Structure 1
């Protein structure tokens, strides 16, 4: 009996000790999490090489180092340990790793030993480096002069001038002004320790590769035999560039210098080209409609012998995010958001191509599969997240879809952190449709208590709201401060069929805003929601939604936070850069009085028209280098609130764009965010 009591007491002490060790997530802890980077598999399929980025808050910068982990299972091993950015280029037979570091190409064994330098001089002006299949050539991007925009370039006797002269649009993009330079693809030879015979494959062309701002290494690849280069480019300038999404895939023959457009006549985004392992097929992602950046993304398959193309997903009612050929070229694995999560699917290329029956869902669960790394026998290596966990590497069993975690980058922190409960909730909208919402509860949630509750408004407006993990808009972090969060998949989000995704275009302030009100009203039916302490937060289109709801919420909310939101659509149309987005989503310009869609947007769906109805404290966040939602949007909203006598705060981030990228700025953002909620909610 005494022994049983002793065991019981010991167990209670251990449970209490564990409870004392575990803490709620804080902004400071969030920024201690390692962030999974690029990954590659050894040719024998036995090990994964991957990068992990850690942030140094004192130095306000990041550091990336390489690790390996066995595919069959086993501990992670760190193989580099020095500050600076690194990128994997290739893993050769025998495990010899080629990588970029400090502008040079290096090689080492997979265990980090036997380090040698392949390039004898630093090339600090290059980016997006990729090796040819035989390792004898390299492609990279470099900025070249394309036009004289700067005063000092136009007038040699005025070398200190920083004036800019423009005669066309696209004078700035995302967070950079057009200074007359553009990014070109170069090809060069690797001879011993030198890179020689550099050649610009786009000489004299005023176009960018990769696509700005979100393109990367995926925009340029070698062919299977290494004899040609494929690259993605939108060969338009000025007003044409600002109003079009028509990128094409070009093939450059290295020997002849001839360039061929492989997607001639395909009018939307064509991106992410990839060859099958045997080189017989080429696949890429494609959208049909020019000017619609959130159009359905399909997989196009091209027979390289005949040139015949087929749309593999045309009749499938979702949109593809990324894909990978199987090792034997008989299947395509792809990722897509479906019913509120991003999952893995496969297409049997020996089946009835183009038929939905050829598509099979491989995984399912309350998580997102965010990228596909490689295939190793009957296992697929992927990255997985959920709202409580940042990305880790997992192995998917291709027979049954079961998953095994391979990396434990952040387990030490998770073991000390209380996690949130996350529920899927289904809500009837005002037009009688079913809407999925995620509900995130505070750690140690007690349904007998009442909690302040936040409505989260997603941006995009066609961005998915699934089980992703954000290092800024982090639901686990919000819940850890004592808030319930409801995050609805309102009209416009992918994963619920193409029509649901399309319905937001031209109707920003209509049904999607009603969907948000349906979500907050539905969660308020629960006894644990404090109906007198409701907040509303969001960024980009989510910030627009906050500004709209501030004028129509009918006293539901006690506080608002809008980050880089669109406040006045007329001034926004006059200053934003990617006009294809405005033309598609709000209907176009404001001076065409015959355009009924645009007129409704500017009259009925313009937040600035409802400022006279504002009556609730509001915090405004604005990036100084955000050219998508420029500075006047946040300043106008803050000024309007101040002049109306409404309690308000402006957080201005002069060096940030549409995101918050610098670590210390991100911590300021999160501290001010939660300070405002404590003060007003």
Structure 2
């Protein structure tokens, strides 16, 4: 359920309008003559711009960022690019065409090369009109230009296997059937149609693309990784003589039970491919060279089949042929990283005690002696550093969120440790949104361990009053519960409707050490569920909690948690909401697609008696006889991670037991809700149910 890049996908859907139009719409929505603040509501939430850091100019003077905006009227989104002077702070629109642009490269002369509608475009940050560079017959994806500018690397889908009937039987063009002999017949939200994304390399001359070479040579493998891999799976060698790409070179059933991706090097001259991570059995991703080109670094997990394993930074020094795990001794897991400009340090972001923070790693000068890298956390506060755009002098340009603020771009001063906003896309909107009090809370769990929770209070919280209180159950199950900002599971939005929200960092969440992170595996219905009960019991001691009006909500593993709590909560909760949760572990194992996840988390298949506990004691469907609480169930029709039978089974059980229940079926959605109108339906049903039952 958790994916490395997932993390941010829950706030997809975007595209943006021009600054003038954005300001016009903002004034219309807010009625600027009225300066009173109001609690955040779903309509206002969806009018916020979604900000992305796109790149920094070579001279460090200009930041390019994207802003995405959603139009409810057309149920469509638009993203445009803007420039921001890091010297003056002035901003200017760069693109305004309908669609979505993403930056590929910013050249020394100020040309910004970006991808738009599958083709490369160029526009100078100082002057001139946009120029279309490429006119490829097929759309370009995941583009990376070589350092010398003479080659282009991109991906496209290639038909390798004739799974669909129209490919297998051309004389039956109106047929619609799939024929499979192996697993990996479907993944995430699509059935395998026999097409595999492959990396291609070709000569490149000012937009003219030469004959492209398929680096996977018609093999049934993916690169980038499916379903969420992107251009971060590609890298050029500094001399432009070779390409690195990430791939899991396994097929069918072997593909479905493994996480063993490797980093491969393709030499343009010899046309030979070398596996650079042979013998490294888990995920190997994000190949990145140091600025001087002498060292290769990447992210690596040790265990095959464990998608949430500790993510370490590996370094390989070409001169000495030494390879070293730089973070092996550090008790945490890395999200992403960049090299410092002087080649001496690596900056990375990682979960830390309910937040995501910046860390600094000093690279050992002599890798042969295997000396430990010095690692220290350099930022601290009630915010998340969600990514690092780049470095400018003694500052890092980063993206950051809080429970009460969507993504904006900031500069982090490495000397004085301060975080200063560079973009203020949503400031006018937030000026009219009521603030929420946020507190941290420590509870003694049932086993005596300290359990950290975030508590989000309604606007104008009055401790002398009583409030309905909601337990938020995070998914993953090994996802960090930090100061995230979501456009659906938005804890500020929920609290702003008059509820207290408690969000525990239960067992299984990164940020509290590797042991805590790993504790959930094969214990889904054990200590993590007891952690949830400890958290809600503890906050219920407060006089402002209305113990007769408590709810539990969650999605994915959080939905599983709600189904489990439905059978064991002993009348703590008045109502429940589960989204795409796992209801019956036997049927789930038989229909989910990434079996490596199920094998690691549950121990293996249900027919192996060694795993009996996962399918009995930790199986929500085994407790239906104890269900007695109203429940709202959301289920996506294209969710193949937690297939449709899970939500339907839970709803049918509740209905047959004559429990007040409701099913919201979203036939075109996957594990998430990506359509804006569907998201509005989701939120109306969500808050309508709470109002009706809590």
TM-score bin, normalised by smaller chain: over 0.9
Q: Which of 354, 359, 362 lines up with 2:375 in the alignment?
A: 359
Displacement after TM superposition at 1:156 (Å):
2.0
2:669 is matched with which residue?
Answer: 656
Against the structure 1 CA distance between its residues 352 and 29, is the aligned structure 2 distance closer, same or farther, given a 3 Å change threshold? farther
Cα distance in 2 for partners of 1:18, 1:125 equals 47
2:27 is matched with which residue?
Answer: none
Aligned length: 661
Cα distance in 1 for partners of 2:120, 2:543 equals 61
3-state SS of the aligned residue for 2:429? helix
Against the structure 1 CA distance between its residues 352 and 464, is the aligned structure 2 distance closer, same or farther, given a 3 Å change threshold? farther
Displacement after TM superposition at 1:57 (Å):
1.4
Q: Which of 24, 40, 56 lines up with 2:39 in the alignment?
A: 24
1:10 is matched with which residue?
Answer: none
1:485 is matched with which residue?
Answer: 501
Displacement after TM superposition at 1:21 (Å):
2.1
Q: Which of 33, 39, 54 lines up with 2:48 in the alignment?
A: 33
Displacement after TM superposition at 1:111 (Å):
4.1
Tell whether 2:163 aligns with 1:140. Answer: no
Against the structure 1 CA distance between its residues 462 and 18, is the aligned structure 2 distance closer, same or farther, given a 3 Å change threshold? farther
3-state SS of the aligned residue for 1:371? strand
Displacement after TM superposition at 1:221 (Å):
1.4
Q: Which of 212, 219, 226 lines up with 1:212 in the alignment?
A: 226
Cα distance in 1 for partners of 2:415, 2:588 equals 51
Q: Which of 429, 432, 457 lines up with 1:416 in the alignment?
A: 432
1:630 is matched with which residue?
Answer: 643
Displacement after TM superposition at 1:20 (Å):
5.4
Q: Does the CA-based 8 Å contact 2:364-2:371 persist in structure 1?
A: no
2:328 is matched with which residue?
Answer: 314
1:13 is matched with which residue?
Answer: none
Tell whether 2:596 aligns with 1:583. Answer: no
Displacement after TM superposition at 1:348 (Å):
1.0
Tell whether 2:678 aligns with 1:679. Answer: no
Tell whether 2:316 aligns with 1:266. Answer: no
Q: Which of 168, 180, 200 lines up with 1:154 in the alignment?
A: 168
1:432 is matched with which residue?
Answer: 448
Cα distance in 1 for partners of 2:127, 2:693 equals 53
Cα distance in 2 for partners of 1:202, 1:410 equals 44
Cα distance in 2 for partners of 1:356, 1:18 equals 59
Cα distance in 1 for partners of 2:36, 2:653 equals 46
> TM-score, normalised to structure 2's length?
0.93
Against the structure 1 CA distance between its residues 355 and 24, is the aligned structure 2 distance closer, same or farther, given a 3 Å change threshold? farther
| Counterparts of residues 307-346 of structure 1 (less than 5 Å) | 307-346=321-360
Tell whether 2:463 aligns with 1:447. Answer: yes
Displacement after TM superposition at 1:201 (Å):
1.2
1:496 is matched with which residue?
Answer: 512
> TM-score, normalised to structure 1's length?
0.95
Cα distance in 1 for partners of 2:372, 2:661 equals 51
User: C-alpha offsets along residues 98-132 of structure 1, whole Å, 9 cap, x if unaligned?
Assistant: 1111222111111463322211x254533111111
User: C-alpha offsets along residues 167-200 of structure 1, whole Å, 9 cap, x if unaligned?
Assistant: 1111000001011110000112222442222111
Q: Does the CA-based 8 Å contact 1:133-1:225 persist in structure 2?
A: yes
Against the structure 1 CA distance between its residues 520 and 265, is the aligned structure 2 distance closer, same or farther, given a 3 Å change threshold? same
3-state SS of the aligned residue for 1:443? coil
Displacement after TM superposition at 1:159 (Å):
1.5
Q: Does the CA-based 8 Å contact 1:79-1:111 persist in structure 2?
A: no
Tell whether 2:292 aligns with 1:278. Answer: yes
Cα distance in 2 for partners of 1:472, 1:122 equals 37
Displacement after TM superposition at 1:383 (Å):
0.5
| Counterparts of residues 116-127 of structure 1 (less than 5 Å) | 116-119=131-134, 121-127=135-141
Q: Does the CA-based 8 Å contact 2:141-2:155 persist in structure 1?
A: yes
Against the structure 1 CA distance between its residues 462 and 352, is the aligned structure 2 distance closer, same or farther, given a 3 Å change threshold? farther
Cα distance in 2 for partners of 1:613, 1:72 equals 64
2:250 is matched with which residue?
Answer: 236
3-state SS of the aligned residue for 1:188? strand
Q: Does the CA-based 8 Å contact 2:438-2:454 persist in structure 1?
A: yes
3-state SS of the aligned residue for 1:263? coil
Displacement after TM superposition at 1:496 (Å):
0.3
1:88 is matched with which residue?
Answer: 103
Cα distance in 1 for partners of 2:339, 2:536 equals 43
Q: Does the CA-based 8 Å contact 1:316-1:356 persist in structure 2?
A: no
User: C-alpha offsets along residues 308-327 of structure 1, whole Å, 9 cap, x if unaligned?
Assistant: 10000001001111100011
Q: Does the CA-based 8 Å contact 1:535-1:560 persist in structure 2?
A: yes
Cα distance in 2 for partners of 1:213, 1:424 equals 35
Against the structure 1 CA distance between its residues 378 and 228, is the aligned structure 2 distance closer, same or farther, given a 3 Å change threshold? same
Q: Does the CA-based 8 Å contact 1:547-1:607 persist in structure 2?
A: yes
Displacement after TM superposition at 1:607 (Å):
0.2
User: C-alpha offsets along residues 532-568 of structure 1, whole Å, 9 cap, x if unaligned?
Assistant: 1001000000000000000000000000000000000
Displacement after TM superposition at 1:307 (Å):
2.4
Q: Which of 673, 677, 682 lines up with 1:669 in the alignment?
A: 682
Cα distance in 2 for partners of 1:351, 1:380 equals 23
3-state SS of the aligned residue for 1:676? helix
User: C-alpha offsets along residues 279-334 of structure 1, whole Å, 9 cap, x if unaligned?
Assistant: 00000000001011111010001002232100000010011111000111110001
Q: CA RMSD in A?
A: 1.4
Q: Does the CA-based 8 Å contact 1:332-1:346 persist in structure 2?
A: yes
Cα distance in 1 for partners of 2:206, 2:110 equals 19
Q: Which of 524, 529, 535 lines up with 2:540 in the alignment?
A: 524
Tell whether 2:630 aligns with 1:617. Answer: yes
Cα distance in 2 for partners of 1:341, 1:82 equals 36
1:4 is matched with which residue?
Answer: none
1:3 is matched with which residue?
Answer: none
3-state SS of the aligned residue for 1:392? strand
Q: Does the CA-based 8 Å contact 1:313-1:355 persist in structure 2?
A: no
3-state SS of the aligned residue for 2:476? coil
User: C-alpha offsets along residues 231-267 of structure 1, whole Å, 9 cap, x if unaligned?
Assistant: 1100001111111110000011112211100000000
